[in-house]
Amino acid sequence: MNKKDIVSLSFDELKIEMESIGEKAFRAKQIYEWIHVKLVDSFDEMTNLSKAHREKLAEIFTISNMAEADRLVSRIDETRKYLFTLPDGEYVESVLLSYKHGYSVCLSTQVGCKMGCKFCASTIAGFKRNLTPSEMLSQIYTAEKDSGRKISSIVMMGIGEPLDNYDNVIKFLNLVSCPEGNNMSLRHLSLSTCGLVNRINDLSEHKFGLTLSISLHAANNKQRSEIMPVNDKYDINELISACKNYIKKTGRRISFEYALINGVNDSRETANELISLLRGMNCHVNIIPVNKIKERNYKTDTSSVRKFQHYLEEGGINATVRRTLGSDINAACGQLRREYEI
């Protein structure tokens, strides 16, 4: 018998499951708290349940766990990079980041990625499968237990395209914000997408309150299609229209991610195009020095970063430069997994 993934069940689903096996509905609250608040790894740790009840649960359900295959700790800051082995032998990464306001986890949503962005290590080995809601949650729970720190924010910017795993991501968002469990405000969560317009429109209907980050990286279709194949399906005009719709429906500001690539998208002319594209929108631009990966020849000229920021701000666009964390351990997602799979 295939056991059910109890960690991926919503609180309401768990209540129904308890009733279906002849247990009182209040048991769901106890079990849900053990899993999502006390972060247990097995039913045996649920000490306020009888041994017979724990054994019954173990026969029907499973608490999915990830095995830690590797962990790198930065000597520069408190960044920790984790490589996990999944039950089917696949690998996935997540990163624990330390900020003045607290601790954040950058988590993965897929094993590999279909999107083919030229500057990204995650896509080089191709796509294997989607992560389940429990596998996304496990990245957070493992980082909390390993570090002894409470995670106060989440960035869904690891391996994979979150909106390509739409149903599981929506369930994850509901689980991580559930009052009976982790109870995280989704205002402390950022979801990054390369621009799946249909799913951006779907997401806007939920009004989650999260920060939507768009991987833009170019200001015109020719330039964007060269580095992001998704632009051939959803071009910049469609994408910007979906973003404006998202802002209107949710009232939330959008963040545009912009990986600055030397000689590709870092000119004054490109900055002017970007200003024209985004003018009047409730947004800001996050300029990202591109990460070096051995399979690609992309790099960022350090001197051009502040220049580009100045161009945008001069044109009335709010712009920041992403702080680089864990540079001594290649903390950008996808690189450690590649080393294990090669």
Which residue range is the domain that position 34 belongs to? Answer: 4-62
Q: Give the model confidence (pLDDT) of 162-208 as tens digits.
A: 999 999 999 999 999 999 999 999 999 999 999 999 999 999 999 89
For the residues 257-262, what does the mean pLDDT come to?
A: 90
pLDDT recorded at residue 234 = 97
Active-site residue, from 17, 93, 135, 257: 93
Instruction: Say how many domains are in the chain.
Output: 2
Inter-CA distances, 82 with 25, 67, 117, 138, Å: 37, 10, 23, 12
Active-site residue, from 106, 113, 117, 333: 333
Length of the chain: 342
Q: How confident is the model at residue 64 (pLDDT cuts 50, 70, 90)?
A: confident
Percent of the chain as helix, strand, coil, to the nearest 5: 40, 20, 40
CATH code assigned at 9: 1.10.150.530
Residues 42 and 172 in one domain: no
Active site residue 161: no
Residues 184 and 238 in one domain: yes
Residues 118 and 144 in one domain: yes
pTM of the model: 0.92
Residue with tokens 């991987």: 215
For the residues 265-275, what does the mean pLDDT come to?
A: 95
Residues 270 and 320 in one domain: yes
Residues 17 and 162 in one domain: no
Contact 287, 321 (CB under 8 A): yes
Question: pLDDT over 70 for what percent of the chain?
Answer: 91
Residues 256 and 314 in one domain: yes
- Dihedral sign from CA coordinates of 10, 12, 18, 20: negative
Domain end point (choices 35, 62, 89): 62
Question: pLDDT over 90 for what percent of the chain?
Answer: 75
Q: How confident is the model at residue 332 (pLDDT cuts 50, 70, 90)?
A: low
Q: In sequence order, what are the residues at sequence separation of 6 or more whose Cβ sits closer than 8 angstroms to the Cβ of residue 267?
A: none
Residues 53 and 78 in one domain: no
Domain end point (choices 16, 42, 62): 62
142 vs 104: CA distance, rounded Å:
13
CATH code assigned at 121: 3.20.20.70
Domain end point (choices 62, 86, 109): 62
Q: Which two tokens stand for residue 68?
A: 């830690």
Residues 145 and 291 in one domain: yes
68 vs 73: CA distance, rounded Å:
14
- Answer whether residue 335 shows pLDDT above 60: no
- Of the listed ranges 5-9, 74-78, 189-193, 323-327, the least confidently predicted one is 323-327
pLDDT recorded at residue 82 = 94
Residues 108 and 254 in one domain: yes
pLDDT recorded at residue 304 = 86
Residues 115 and 18 in one domain: no
323 vs 334: CA distance, rounded Å:
19
pLDDT recorded at residue 333 = 54
Residues 158 and 176 in one domain: yes
Active site residue 333: yes
16 vs 189: CA distance, rounded Å:
29
- Answer whether residue 210 shows pLDDT above 70: yes
pLDDT recorded at residue 342 = 42
Mean pLDDT in the chain?
90
Contact 286, 322 (CB under 8 A): yes
Strand partners, 61: 4
202 vs 193: CA distance, rounded Å:
13
Q: Give the model confidence (pLDDT) of 40-53 as tens digits.
A: 999 999 999 999 99
Strand partners, 98: 103
Q: Give the model confidence (pLDDT) of 212-243 as tens digits.
A: 999 999 999 999 999 999 999 999 999 999 99
Residue ranges with strand state E in the chain: 4-5, 61-62, 67-73, 80-85, 91-99, 102-106, 110-111, 129-130, 151-156, 189-193, 211-215, 254-260, 283-289, 319-321
pLDDT recorded at residue 77 = 80
Q: How confident is the model at residue 295 (pLDDT cuts 50, 70, 90)?
A: very low
Residues 95 and 167 in one domain: yes
Q: Give the model confidence (pLDDT) of 137-175 as tens digits.
A: 999 999 999 989 899 999 999 999 999 999 999 999 999
Q: How confident is the model at residue 294 (pLDDT cuts 50, 70, 90)?
A: very low
pLDDT recorded at residue 336 = 53
Distance of CA 173 to the CA centre of its chain: 11
Inter-CA distances, 162 with 31, 295, 316, Å: 28, 24, 30
Q: Give the model confidence (pLDDT) of 77-123 as tens digits.
A: 888 999 999 989 999 999 999 888 889 999 999 999 999 998 887 88
Alpha helices in 90-235 (DSSP H): 133-147, 166-176, 197-204, 221-227
Nearest to 156 by CA among 196, 128, 189: 189
16 vs 9: CA distance, rounded Å:
10
